[in-house]
Structure 1
Amino acid sequence: MKVVLSGYYGFDNVGDEAILYSIIQALRDNEPGIEITVLSNNPPFTEKTYNVKAVDRWSMLAVCKALIASDGLISGGGSLLQDETKLRSIPYYTGVIQFANLIRKPVFIYAQGIGPLHHPFSRAVVKRVLRKPEITVRDQASKKLLERIGVQNPIEIVPDPVLGLKLAEQNSTWWEKQAFTGSAVTVSVRDWPSSVDYKQKMAEALDSLAQEGKQIVFVPMHGKHDEKASKETAEKMKEESYIAPYDASIEEKIAIIGKSDLLVGMRLHALIFSSITYTPFIAISYDPKIEAFAEIAGQPVAGHVMDEGWNGSSLSQAIRTALQNKGAESAHLKETIGHLQREACNTAQKAIHFFEKEVRGNKIGEGSLKKR
């Protein structure tokens, strides 16, 4: 079987790279001989890192050739069909899906988070291209949004693929070199346009914890972008803090978060890394997907980057409460996330069965035409 994967891959975003890694892992677990071609912004990196074929996602000729030679397209995971961050996301990802539709290649929407879809154009295009694909989404809000805009295909809710990531022993050379003593709080912060100085609020809360002897460790999830946001927040602090290497591997960033006592996080996949290591987290939201996952994991959202209704004091108190209840919170995460980890691996099986059924159907159809 040959499949093409389309997503936000090759952009040095650890969250999306973790999605790719987990999907490849799950596909190979279910179909060891599967041939995978990834549409990537950095094909050499993708090929070397994951031992797959990769083509330039911006080359229309390369994308078309890959799809023509495949048995089907996997679109996802991640938040691809949305117009909140980039207006070109909808035209690009729906364009890839539509070409697959045109050449009669089956399309599997893999655990996507849908929306926001602010513009009528976005809603109309998404509704149109999702008439044929098999659709799985990662939360109830995504399903409701697709139903609201008129998508009539069955829509199944499945866990984020990263929840199914199979972890080897978690180690971080960088962490070991720091020789931290006492409790550690990891932090995932990103830039977001807002009139609220949320980084100042976070810095005040982190200062309060550092004064109590907690080690504050920033974990950049999107390369140099998040390293910059981490440095800006750290510079607002009066106390000492640490910033983990922005180019650390997926496994090392999972290890760093897993070795901490608690995560304060904005990035969705920082929260997921926290969950799969059963490390409690406090979320700072900038997007509905953050609230959606925090609700799934049963962890608190302490504030929103567009909202003035929280401050450093309320955030630090939420962190202290979580740390005091760490044992219970970790046990709760293990119970809550445990079954989702098992279910996440099943999505790849659904995709493979879907493609096998479609390929068989196409062969039967071709045979009937030849007899005529």
Structure 2
Amino acid sequence: MRVLLSGYYGAGNVGDEALLAGLVAGLRARGLGVAVLSADPGATSRMHGVRAFHRLAGLGPALAWAGAVLSGGGGLLQDATSARSLDYYLGVLRLARASGRRVAVYGQSLGLLSPAGRARVARVLAGVPLAVRDEDSLALAGELGLTGVLVADPALLVEVPLDVAPPSRDGPVVLVPRGGQDALNSALESLALQLSEDGVPLAAAAFHPRQDAPAVARLAHMAPTLEVRDASTPAAALRALSGARYVVSVRLHGCILAARLGVGFAGLSYDPKVRGFLSQAVAPAFQRPVDERALLNLVRSAPPIAEHAALHLTRLADEGLDWLAAALARRRVPR
């Protein structure tokens, strides 16, 4: 079967590209053909070795190619940032169903949703195989009258380059900011200043360069010895966390890729999807206003990752793809 993936792909966000890499590898390993709807089809084809269609202009040809359409993963089904974004992702599902394609929603977080958004998601997803990546989303699905299963983010399955070093107590503390989250980024800056004065090696990476590069530049200004690391591809992002002592991330996939590498990490949470993953991973979570003294003490101690939780999440991600392959083979959702 040929599966078309609909998500926030080709937009320069390495977290979504890591998620896509895990999905592509997992679906191909299960004998499925893969193509992707992308904001930049050429870049997506080069990075992932897949056929890619423009997410707008190429939608018709993409649906003609596909036997099934998969919405996900990521935080697509929300209208807190843009109602137009929700319109698009639900619209792809409606077009797929209208053209007789199998559909599924996979590896997503649900929400935040307005009352109108909740009603639309409930209507479009009725009867659609649904797998979400955190407990809060599973609970919200139930509130909307939807039946879902719990999986884990496919980025946990991304291939690790051979040159990525294991965690090291002598390595740097790696900081991953997020553009637009000034209060949380300010806490990272305070942390960087104090750790720099302590002589702790530091590094930072922009997981969405267009959004995050200014925040990384401010961290480098606060701590002149800080090493700025490339994170422009999933492999580069994994290398950015290579040999780390500890990771502190505002970005969700800074936490997820740290878990993939077995590096201890803490998250500064701006969104339910971040809190959801940190809870599943049994990892420290800080919310606004950040207790900067507690964060500093935590990072100085650099506790190891909760290995049992990370292993459980990796198994959940792998088993979720088995569920997905079976769901796509088993059923066609009525129009």
Give the TM-score, by structure 2 length.
0.92
1:170·1:254 contact (CA, 8 Å) conserved in 2? no
SS of equivalent to 1:37: strand
SS of equivalent to 1:73: strand
In structure 1, what is the equivalent of residue 145 of structure 2? 151
Q: Distance in 1 between matches of 2:331 and 2:290?
A: 51
Aligned: 1:316 with 2:312: no
1:186·1:217 contact (CA, 8 Å) conserved in 2? yes
Give the TM-score, by structure 1 length.
0.84
In structure 2, what is the equivalent of residue 55 of structure 1? 53
1:215·1:241 contact (CA, 8 Å) conserved in 2? yes
Pairwise CA distance, 1:113: 0.8
State which of 200, 203, 211 in structure 2 corresponds to 1:225: 211
Pairwise CA distance, 1:151: 2.7
In structure 2, what is the equivalent of residue 91 of structure 1? 87
One-letter identity of the residue aligned with 1:240:
T
In structure 1, what is the equivalent of residue 180 of structure 2? 192
Pairwise CA distance, 1:168: 3.7
In structure 1, what is the equivalent of residue 321 of structure 2? 348
2:77·2:89 contact (CA, 8 Å) conserved in 1? yes
Aligned: 1:13 with 2:8: no
Pairwise CA distance, 1:319: 1.1
Say what the alpha-carbon RMSD is for the aligned residues.
Answer: 2.1
Relative CO higher for 1 or 2, CA cutoff 8 Å, sep ≥ 6?
Answer: 2
2:130·2:149 contact (CA, 8 Å) conserved in 1? yes
State which of 98, 111, 121 in structure 1 corresponds to 2:116: 121
Pairwise CA distance, 1:214: 1.0
Structure 1, residues 56-81: CA drift from partner, whole Å, max 9, x if none?
A: 1022xx21332233211110000000
Pairwise CA distance, 1:348: 2.4
Matches within 5 A, 1:1-372: 1-31=1-31, 34-59=32-57, 62-117=58-113, 119-148=114-143, 150-152=144-146, 154-171=147-164, 182-192=170-180, 197-235=183-221, 237=222, 239-247=224-232, 249-301=233-285, 303-304=286-287, 307-308=288-289, 310-311=291-292, 313-321=293-301, 323=302, 325=303, 329-330=304-305, 332-333=306-307, 335-358=308-331
Q: Distance in 1 between matches of 2:280 and 2:220?
A: 30
Q: For the pair shown, which has the larger CA radius of gyration, 1 or 2?
A: 1
Pairwise CA distance, 1:221: 0.5
SS of equivalent to 1:318: helix
Summarize the Cα distance change of 1:274–1:42 in structure 2 as closer, same or farther, 3 Å threshold. Answer: same
One-letter identity of the residue aligned with 1:23:
L
Query: Where in structure 1 are there 5+ consecutive unaligned residues?
Result: 173-179, 363-372
Q: Distance in 1 between matches of 2:185 and 2:46?
A: 36
Q: Distance in 1 between matches of 2:142 and 2:239?
A: 38
Percent of aligned pairs with the same residue?
28
Pairwise CA distance, 1:6: 0.1
SS of equivalent to 1:336: helix
Pairwise CA distance, 1:181: 11
1:12·1:222 contact (CA, 8 Å) conserved in 2? yes
Pairwise CA distance, 1:53: 1.0
State how many pairs are aligned: 332
One-letter identity of the residue aligned with 2:15:
G
Greater shift, 208-217 or 21-30, is seen at: 208-217
Summarize the Cα distance change of 1:346–1:319 in structure 2 as closer, same or farther, 3 Å threshold. Answer: same
Q: Distance in 1 between matches of 2:30 and 2:187?
A: 46
Summarize the Cα distance change of 1:67–1:238 in structure 2 as closer, same or farther, 3 Å threshold. Answer: closer
Q: Distance in 1 between matches of 2:265 and 2:204?
A: 14
Q: Distance in 1 between matches of 2:68 and 2:319?
A: 18
Pairwise CA distance, 1:239: 4.7
